[in-house]
Copies of this chain bind each other. A is one copy, B any other.
């Protein structure tokens, strides 16, 4: 599968390194705003010894539609910014290119745009594309479905400087329908990221815990999405849709 990546910040770099090291994917190009590193190969820059072209291209050189035309790909992975979808979405969708977006927040208008694109191609969006966080959310959601009155609290731990409640904890609270004060945020030292969902029953306790080790986890989340979309028809997909499948089939 030929892949194009949008965004080459800290997370973009980690995702690129995971894609480069995976044999089923060929990273054709990386498209970014900055002209820094332009024309260099991401593989060489990241010191990974593979043949993928992985050319770093700046939006100052060429518009994204032109790039897609010249160097076609099967999948576009979007780690750039929410408005980017307007610049490539329709064009890519008409060409049947699968879109995997890991943008944290979309406006209502952007979300409606994404859903429309699902009529033309496969489009997947997850604000936290890490596999583990989504699996825990899925398992927690059904645990609550089975026990609607169970007490639930969330503990999320991050490095000292992190502002506000983590986006992932907010999403969890939303899906589990928890009041704000049920999310407990710990901010100490250099903790990379830990999320714990605690289910308190009268005579037993269940905990789902996710610990992040490094940003490369986002790359693995992308690969999970890409592989699971392969056999799917056109449509708009969320993480839950891909996970659900494994439980439905006997």
Contact = CB atoms under 8 A, between A and B. Distances in A.
Interface residues on A, range: 35 or more
B132 A204 contact: yes
A23 B146 CA distance: 19
A210 B203 contact: no
A7 to B, nearest CB: 18
Interface in A138-182: 139, 142-143, 145-147, 150-153, 155, 157, 159-160
Contacts of A220: 201-204
Interface of A: 130-132, 135-136, 139, 142-143, 145-147, 150-153, 155, 157, 159-160, 184, 186-192, 198-217, 219-220, 243-244, 246-248
Contacts of A208: 139, 206-209
Most chain-B CB neighbours within 10 Å: which of A153, A160, A210, A247? A247
B184 A189 contact: no
Contact of A209 (B135, B191, B192, B209): B209
